[in-house]
Amino acid sequence: MGYELSNRLVVGIASSALFDLTESGAIFREQGEKGYRDYQEEHRDDELRPGVAFPFIRRLLSLNNLNAADDPLVEVIVLSRNDPDTGLRVMRSIASHGLPISRAIFRQGRSPYNFMPALNMSLFLSANEQDVREAVSSGLAAGHVLGAPHEDDLDDDDLRISFDFDGVLAGDESEQVYQAGGIEEFRAHETRNAAIPHDAGPLKEFLAGVNRIQQREEEERGRNPDYRIRLHVSIVTARNAPAHERAVTSLKEWGLRVNDAFFLGGIDKGEIMKILRPHIFFDDQETHLVSTSRTTPSVHVPFGKINEVAEADRRPA
Catalytic residue positions, numbered: 164
Strands of 254-309, DSSP E: 260-263, 280-283, 298-300
* Contact call for residues 111 and 46 (beta carbons, < 8 A): no
* Contact call for residues 190 and 243 (beta carbons, < 8 A): yes
* Contact call for residues 79 and 115 (beta carbons, < 8 A): yes
Distance from C-alpha of 3 to C-alpha of 7, rounded to nearest angstrom: 11
Residues with Cβ within 8 Å of 187's Cβ and at least 6 positions away in sequence, in order, are 242, 243
Residues in the chain, total: 317
Q: What are phi and psi of 149, to 5 degrees?
A: -60, 150
Peptide bond just before 55 cis, omega within 30 deg: no
How many helices (H) and strands (E) are present in the chain, helices listed first?
11, 10
Q: What are phi and psi of 231, to 5 degrees?
A: -100, 125
Peptide bond just before 242 cis, omega within 30 deg: yes
Distance of CA 99 to the CA centre of its chain: 18
Distance of CA 211 to the CA centre of its chain: 15
Sheet containing 121-126: order of strands: 103-106, 74-80, 9-13, 121-126, 142-146, 298-300, 280-283, 159-163, 231-237, 260-263
